[in-house]
Amino acid sequence: MAVALALSETVRGTTSPNPPVGAVVLDAEGNVAGQGATQPPGGPHAEVMALREAGERARGGTAFVTLEPCSHHGRTPPCTGALLAAGVTTVRYAVADPHPLGGGGADVLRAAGVDVEGGLLAAEVASGPLRAWLHFVRTGRPHVTWKYAATLDGRVAAADRTSRWISGPVSRAEVHAIRSAADAIVVGTGTVRADDAWLTVRDADGVLAPRQPLRVVVGTGGIPEGARVLDDSAETLLARTREPDEVLMALAERGVVDVLLEGGPTLAGAFVRAGRVDRILAYVAPMLLGAGPAALGPSGVSTITEAHRWRVEGVTMSGDDVRVAAVPLTGEGGS
């Protein structure tokens, strides 16, 4: 299952609105016979990819899948049928499928005599590659990760609004890796005007990656002619609204599942105030400014008892910076 989990990570950002799933098939003797991950929409699911590689060696074998095999016929046939046709006798999956159409695959397999068990590495899968998709299925909204870089005293720019560079090179490279797995990057018109943000995925040499997430610019303000966000290196959506729910509804209709919010304090405050931030990734740099804009603008808090409270998922070093990952406490934020 750990191998299947790693396989699912390799396709994150390429499968939406389908989930990024990994699968490993063992032969009857317990040797790896096939591996696979979900292909872009319309392509085979992870189980089918692994079964193709396994061929006849799958008969009498075991399949490990990060998500319960689907039982419905969408753009592709059900994976339960493929597993049964291949002669797999045992299936282990991590997370149950909450989708009203795709769920129930485990029962279909059991009814056909397959030994099925779920829950293996469920927490790791649910908080990793399937986090955004599970949220999307359960709420109908894209999952929003607010990413920002700030100084030790919480500033995202100096008093003169300069902000390059607060975070270090290791953090900036990591952010491009995070962007590469997102379906969309969201900023406000203010960020475009102030920073001429490009919102692309690039390598250490500045070369554009083959796949680029959708660029989304939110707000009613103007965008300068020649702004980099309007070039042809990636698709750009201009969302002429200031309402987070309107933005997320438009993105959901496009099949966007995983959103990276990179806007400034005003846009971040609007999303937090609306309860539409589902995760925070904060890069804290060992730097002090003493003045300048804070990371978060007005978010509906006037007294300490109204504070938005979060649970820290992890704290890690990113070069000289500290990366803090946090999710809302139950009933808070975007949950």
The residue among 123, 196, 155, 137 whose CA lies nearest residue 285 is 155
At 335 the pLDDT is 42
Please give the order of strands across the beta sheet that includes 310-318. 236-239, 214-218, 184-188, 258-261, 143-151, 279-285, 321-328, 310-318
Amino acid at 43: G
pLDDT along the chain (335 residues), means of 10: 97 94 98 97 95 97 97 83 97 93 87 97 96 96 97 93 89 92 94 88 88 94 89 93 95 96 92 96 96 93 93 96 93 49
For the range 244-249, what are the long-range contacts, defined as Cβ-Cβ under 8 Å and sequence gap of 24 or more?
244/270, 244/271, 244/274, 244/276, 245/274, 245/276, 247/186, 247/216, 247/218, 248/141, 248/142, 248/144, 248/276, 249/141
CA distances (Å), origin 212, targets 233, 244, 322: 8, 22, 27
Name the catalytic one among 9, 29, 47, 313. 47
pLDDT of residue 11: 96
CA angle at 224 for the pair 226 and 233, rounded to the nearest 5°: 40
Read off the pTM.
Answer: 0.91
Residue 246 annotated among the catalytic residues of the structure: no
pLDDT tens figures, 244-279: 999 999 999 999 999 999 979 999 999 999 999 999
pLDDT of residue 5: 98
For 163-169, which contacts have Cβ atoms below 8 Å and span 24 or more sequence positions?
A: 163/195, 166/283, 166/285, 166/287, 167/283, 167/285, 167/318, 167/321, 168/285, 168/318, 168/319, 168/320, 168/321, 169/319
Distance between the two ends of the chain, CA-based, in angstroms? 27
- pLDDT given for residue 109 in this prediction: 96
* The predicted structure's pLDDT at residue 57: 97
Q: Are the C-beta atoms of 311 and 324 separated by less than 8 Å?
A: no
215 vs 198: CA distance, rounded Å: 9
* pLDDT reported for residue 331: 52
Pairwise CA distance, residues 195 & 84, whole Å? 55
Q: What is the C-alpha to C-alpha distance for residues 151 and 149, in angstroms, rounded to an integer?
A: 7
What pLDDT score does 102 carry? Answer: 66
**Residue 291 near residue 157 (C-beta atoms within 8 A):** no
Give the pLDDT score at 125: 97
* DSSP-derived pairing of the beta strands 90-95 and 62-67: parallel
25 close to 54: Cβ distance less than 8 angstroms: yes
